[in-house]
Amino acid sequence: KSLSVVKSPESMSVTTEKKGETVSLKSNAVRVDFNVGTGWISFFDKQGKALFTEKDYGAQFTPFNDAGNPTFSVRQAFLLDKDEAIYGLGQQQVDDLNQRNHKHFMRQRALYASVPIIQSTKGYGMFWDNYSPTTYTDNPQEMSFDSEVGECMDYYFMYGGNADGVIAQIRDLTGQAPMYPLWTFGFWQSRERYKSQQETMEVVDKYRELGIPLDGIIQDWQYWGPNSNWNSMNFDNPEFPDPQKMIDHVKKKNAKIMISIWASFGPDTNPYKDLEKINALFN
């Protein structure tokens, strides 16, 4: 069961036809060809125009030891048209919107927000449904997704006809995304960190004094104190003696405040101790 997909399978009318080892399934929108010998799949529009195709050697499964759990690394390659542009993959640190001729190691980390969804100028999209670190590669030979861990190879093909149609299908597949409040689209002030609640309040005050629009400010790390208290999610740093006062001050200045939390815990924090009790700590 997918952690991302909320849509349930639906009954629909399809016709089937078999020629040799190829079975064709046709709906009112697309045709899918499946080679029963190799597992090779190709997608076409209802007029028979080629949209997207796997490389003919099929899915690749390589045995992988995942921290003592025997599993697989999974890889699938696809063929794209020479002049086809591909967009998506989330926030990658490249100058180009077009992801052709790029290679990305996709794992969530600072400055990177990876989303394994592509969208083509041919009017289709594809969601690679895998949560492990994944390498996207595009070169003149092929485009591929290579995931470190996977019990199966799972992706969703979406034909929307254009960019808006593809996004609509992504929303239908993974859930509707409501618009954020208007203030989230304004300017958010952030830096490596503010070292005290006084500094945070003074920055907001200065923006208001200068008449520069400001919708929010971000209080980043070390408000919790020393590294042994990393991400306690408490204001244990003595430079933040009254965090409620800081939050109220920012609100009175008609701004929002965002407080950063992290994905790990220091040994003096309550979450660390709770995880240690149930042997759920991983380095």
Spatial separation of the C-alpha atoms in residues 169 and 161, rounded to whole Å: 11
Res 59: pLDDT: 87
Tokens of 218: 């971000």
CA distance 280 to 119: 38
**Fold match between domain 15-174 and domain 182-277:** no
Q: What is the pLDDT of residues 43-89, one digit of tens each?
A: 999 899 999 999 987 789 999 999 889 999 999 999 999 999 999 99
Q: Work out the number of other CB atoms within 10 angstroms of the CB of residue 187.
A: 12
pLDDT score at 50: 95
Residues of the chain with pLDDT under 50: none
Model confidence pTM above 0.75: yes
Q: What is the CATH number of domain 15-174?
A: 2.60.40.1760
- Residue by residue, what is the 3-state secondary structure of the chain? CCCCCCCCCCCCCCEEEEECCEEEEECCCEEEEEECCCCCEEEEECCCCEEEEECCCCCEEEEEEECCEEEEEEEEEEECCCCCCEEEEEECCCCCCCCCCCEEEECCECCEEEEEEEEECCCEEEEECCCCCEEEEECCCCEEEEECCCCCCCEEEEECCCHHHHHHHHHHHHCCCCCCCHHHHCCEECCCCCCCHHHHHHHHHHHHHHCCCCCEEEECCCCCCCHHHCCCCCCCCCCCCCHHHHHHHHHHCCCEEEECCCCCCCCCCHHHHHHHHCCCCCC
Residues 180-198 pLDDT 10s:
999 999 999 999 999 999 9
Domains of the chain: which residue ranges? Answer: 15-174, 182-277
Residue 283 has a pLDDT of: 64
Yes or no: is domain 182-277 CATH 3.40.50?
yes
Q: Are 24 and 9 in contact (CB under 8 A)?
A: no
| pLDDT the model gives residue 83 | 94
CB atoms under 10 Å from CB of 266, counted, come to 17
Burial 232-255 (b: 16+ CB within 10 A, else e): beebebeebeebeebbebbeeeeb
